[in-house]
Structure 1
Amino acid sequence: MPLLSRYSKIIILNGLSLDIMGSMLNVVKHLPTNVYTNFAVTIPYLDESAPLSTTTTIIGGLKLKFCTKCGNKIMDGTHFCTSCGNDLREESTIETESDHNVDLDTVNPELDYDMDLITTEPVDNATSNLKFSKKIKIFMSISIVLIILIVIIVNIGNSLSDPSKIVKRFEKDISSNNASDLASILYCNDSRLKLDSKSISPLLAYFKSNPTYYDKVDQDLKNNAYNPKDIDSIKLVNTLTLSSDGKTFLLFPKYKIYIKPSFITVTAPVKGITFSINNTNIGESDSDNSTKEFGPYIPGAYTILANYKNLYVSSSTTYPLDLVTADNNIAKVNVLEDMKYINISSDTNYNDAEIFVNGKNVNVKVKDATHFGPINNSSQIYATLSQGGKKLTSKNYKGSSFDSDLALSFEEASSELTDVKNKLNILLSQYDYAFVDAINNNNPAAINNYVASGSQLYKLQEGYIISTAKSGIQETFISSYITKFNSISDDNKSGSFTSSESYIIYSKDGLSTPTTQSYVYGFQYNDASQTYQLTSIN
């Protein structure tokens, strides 16, 4: 039987953890050769004169002890060999210097070792083993640290790139109204859209006022998180869409909540209408019947204010806009649709009549009022013309009562003027008859119905009638008419006119003298008697 050198390695096959120091070697020599695989064990020196270690290390972590005299297997904690009685307490467990040989037959002659199954590898010395062991430890330590770092990085990366966390953060921001943080997790492919706490406030307000819609958006984001797709491979349909966009550290997918931008198209009928959205001015119409697009905007609820003002018309209207439900995220609005230009004429051909809009003289005559305006449906339009001492005023028209052509009618005003003139002509004639009768009969009261009591004319004529009657003068009325209407008030209740009156005057001795005189009378309307009366004479 060959000898084994101290601290030798024995190669056993098929991964069996076997101790060649004990009876288990009997198993080895009977094993089929085709089932063996490499396996290393350490054989201790077994000479009685040099106590050896009783520990044999077998790959797989199993440690066994054997008696140095008989090779019997020793259980841990045993101080005497149960086979030969050897005192194990006096034996050393480590031997590093000598290089002794072990005769397995001497150690245990009863065992029949099959050395064809056993090979030996000499180990240089304990120092090389220690150096090799130190290098292994360093290598393994570095490997462990690297593995730990990789595990940490992977876990952190996976945690940071977890799409469900983006959704939870979104939900938290909405519930806490944290506009600033919400803006930081939203992205838009349109670089013109600025995402900050102010710009996204309409979306927050929309979620608060429309909880059902918010629940739908939240569920859509959760569905996106289950199976996120690359932003370039999808078409943004929903207001918010969670998708992947590139990698973080070249390894971990990066997720974003993409917001679909909204736009507003404004159509205005006339030039010069200004627009503002949520109290922010955005522009104006630069031509008639123009359409302009504004945006992009964050989806949400907005209010657009359209305003127009010129010298005589001021129009301002607000329009609510829902950019969330708008088709293709484009909200369309027609503003101040009642604004229009008109063509003005007169039914009585009063071309020099001056136009008034909402009580203001626009310094435009009827003959120049083609493509006039713009006005709106609430505008009040009329024209005035001075004629016969009277300012004729056309009928008042509201902008909503006609389309683009307006024919101003002075018929009512003209008829009123004619009626006033007729009444004043009758008044003059009646006064002249009464005046002659008062002189011929010495009866001043005869003119009371035609002259305002207490007026300048009444006092003057009362004295004239009495003095003329006493002098014996008689008069005969021939004719009278109004030559000029100097002025008639807008309410037709006062004014003045110039008359031409013809009389024959008879002296006391019977001589007759025809005479024609022109006087300027003042007049007023007596509401009590509902008639006109003269008030003054000049």
Structure 2
Amino acid sequence: MNFKSNNLSSKHNLVKYNNKLNFINEHNIKNLFIILLILILLICIFSLSKIMLFSKNPKNIVNSFEKCIENSNVLALKNLLYCNDNSLELNEKTLTKFLDYLNENPSYKIHIIDHLRHQSSLKNDTNEEKELFNLKKSNNNNYKIFVKPVYCTIHTPIRDTNITVDDNTLVTSNSNDFNRILGPLFPGKYKFTAIYKNNFTSVQDNLDFDFISSYKNSSDFNIKLLQDIQNNMVLVHGDFPEAKIYVNGKCADILLEDSTYIGPVEVNSKIYASININGIELKSNVCTYDGYSKDIYLKFDDYILSSPTFTNEEDIKNQITSLVKDYLNNLPNAINNNDFSYISKYLKINSNIYNEKLNFINELNEKKMTYYIKDINISKIELDNSKLNFVVKASETCSITDTEGNTINKTYNIKYFGSYDKTKSELLLTDLSLY
């Protein structure tokens, strides 16, 4: 009995001991956790106070700025800079470009560091902002290097100009005499490009602009692109308002009726207009741009404008057929009567056929020969693109009788060449050849 009682007592004491030990452990863990929190808080307070003390000293900021440049430390540099315009992003790309600029321009790097050191040595914050980078107190009374953002007005004189900044598309001009304010930009060097394209030409203007070296107590700048383009713009108009304008064979997609300036036009460019009337393509005179003329009038010859010939291709061929047949039917009268006027009205004066037939008539008359046309067959009529020049393939059978009554019958395959003569406003024959 005593043995059992002692055993129970021992177990009871062991349980009490374990409970006490657990309580002590839990209490110690809580105390340890509290101590750790206090230590962390003290470290944070110490670090923060150290940072605040560091930022309170302007010379520390300048020294850190110089180290950031030497080590190309973009992240640390970002913590030193501040801009009042929140839309200016102080990102890695921008700051890397700034560090590259300083390394490429060591004289400015020395200048700006000296300027910041001078500001850090001043007893009072004078708020002087003679440079794009200035040492000032921020809202929390700590020193920062304030970045003065730059702005520029981009101007181009012609609409539909694509404008890029550092190869990034900025805007396409939607009017002539176009202006657009760009900014804020981080101070540095930028490449501005303006590209204008139309159906017949392409012009590009590049400008590398350094906002830092150009800064003179003002952060507003004017960027003018394609300013010379107006020197090569030409006002084109002419007889047919509906005619399309062409430059060097390329359609400008502009009608003469628009009476507008086209360009830019390169010197020695060929400018003309074309219009299709009833299937016939009419072309104006061709003007060669001399680089000085600002007003060009494209003229369609009066004989083309008023000619009844230009209705349709079938009508033209009918008129050509009548021309050749009338000429051949009157050729015997001209020979047998020794009167060139019977056929001269069908021939262009001083052309090959004109001179040849004049000699032919004189020759046959000297030999007292008579001449008759027995058959005429026109096999083909060819027109060029302008419908102003033509070739006729014909076969003709004729008889020639001499003074003794001997008659010779001959058949010839002849090509007749002709064109529309503006002086007479009619179709005329100009040449012939056997084929």
- Same fold? TM cut 0.5: yes
* Counterpart amino acid of residue 357 in structure 2: D
Which residue number corresponds to residue 186 of structure 1?
81
> Tell me, what secondary structure is at the counterpart of 1:190?
coil
Pair 427,364 (structure 1): closer, same or farther in 2 beyond 3 Å: farther
Which residue number corresponds to residue 343 of structure 1?
235
Give distance in 2, aligned partners of 1:489 and 1:203: 63
Of 345, 348, 355 in structure 1, the residue corresponding to residue 245 of structure 2 is 355
Q: How far does residue 293 in structure 1 lie from its aligned partner after superposition? A: 0.5
Of 212, 224, 244 in structure 1, the residue corresponding to residue 137 of structure 2 is 244
Give distance in 1, aligned partners of 2:275 and 2:355: 28
Matched, 1:330 2:220: yes
* Counterpart amino acid of residue 164 in structure 1: K
Which residue number corresponds to residue 383 of structure 1?
272
Q: How far does residue 284 in structure 1 lie from its aligned partner after superposition? A: 2.6
Q: How does 1:392-411 map to 2 (within 5 A)?
A: 393-397=285-289, 400-403=291-294, 405-408=295-298
Matched, 1:174 2:69: yes
* Counterpart amino acid of residue 370 in structure 1: S
> Tell me, what secondary structure is at the counterpart of 2:76?
helix
Q: How does 1:35-184 map to 2 (within 5 A)?
A: 157-184=52-79
Give distance in 2, aligned partners of 1:511 and 1:228: 133
Which residue number corresponds to residue 268 of structure 1?
156
> Tell me, what secondary structure is at the counterpart of 2:159?
coil
> Tell me, what secondary structure is at the counterpart of 1:198?
helix
Q: Aligned pair count? A: 315
- Calculate percent identity across the aligned residue pairs: 22
Pair 536,280 (structure 1): closer, same or farther in 2 beyond 3 Å: farther
Q: How far does residue 304 in structure 1 lie from its aligned partner after superposition? A: 0.8
Give distance in 2, aligned partners of 1:428 and 1:386: 32
Which residue number corresponds to residue 507 of structure 1?
401
Which residue number corresponds to residue 204 of structure 2?
316
The two structures, once aligned, show a CA RMSD in angstroms of 4.7
* Counterpart amino acid of residue 169 in structure 1: S
Which residue number corresponds to residue 127 of structure 2?
234
Give distance in 2, aligned partners of 1:152 and 1:433: 117
Matched, 1:303 2:195: no
Give distance in 2, aligned partners of 1:229 and 1:307: 50
Gaps of 5+ in 1: 1-148, 248-252, 415-421, 442-468, 477-484, 524-531
Q: How far does residue 475 in structure 1 lie from its aligned partner after superposition? A: 4.5
Gaps of 5+ in 2: 1-43, 305-346, 373-380, 419-429
More helix by share: 2
CA contact (8 A) 2:274 2:281 kept: no
CA shift digits 1:470-528 (9 cap, x unpaired): xx96549xxxxxxxx975689xxx9645699xxx975346599xxxx9x75249xxxxx
Q: How far does residue 239 in structure 1 lie from its aligned partner after superposition? A: 1.2
* Counterpart amino acid of residue 193 in structure 2: L
> Tell me, what secondary structure is at the counterpart of 1:401?
coil
Structure number with the bigger relative contact order (C-alpha 8 A, sep ≥ 6) is 2
Give distance in 1, aligned partners of 2:282 and 2:203: 34
* Counterpart amino acid of residue 245 in structure 2: I
* Counterpart amino acid of residue 371 in structure 1: T
Which residue number corresponds to residue 106 of structure 2?
211
Q: How far does residue 274 in structure 1 lie from its aligned partner after superposition? A: 2.3
Q: How far does residue 393 in structure 1 lie from its aligned partner after superposition? A: 4.0
Q: How far does residue 425 in structure 1 lie from its aligned partner after superposition? A: 4.9
Which residue number corresponds to residue 48 of structure 1?
none
* Counterpart amino acid of residue 401 in structure 1: Y
The structure with more radius of gyration: 1
Which residue number corresponds to residue 370 of structure 1?
259
CA contact (8 A) 1:263 1:323 kept: no
CA contact (8 A) 2:285 2:300 kept: yes
* Worse overlay, 185-194 or 303-312: 303-312
Give distance in 2, aligned partners of 1:151 and 1:184: 19
* Worse overlay, 217-226 or 424-433: 424-433
CA shift digits 1:439-489 (9 cap, x unpaired): 899xxxxxxxxxxxxxxxxxxxxxxxxxxx9xx96549xxxxxxxx97568
> Tell me, what secondary structure is at the counterpart of 1:307?
strand
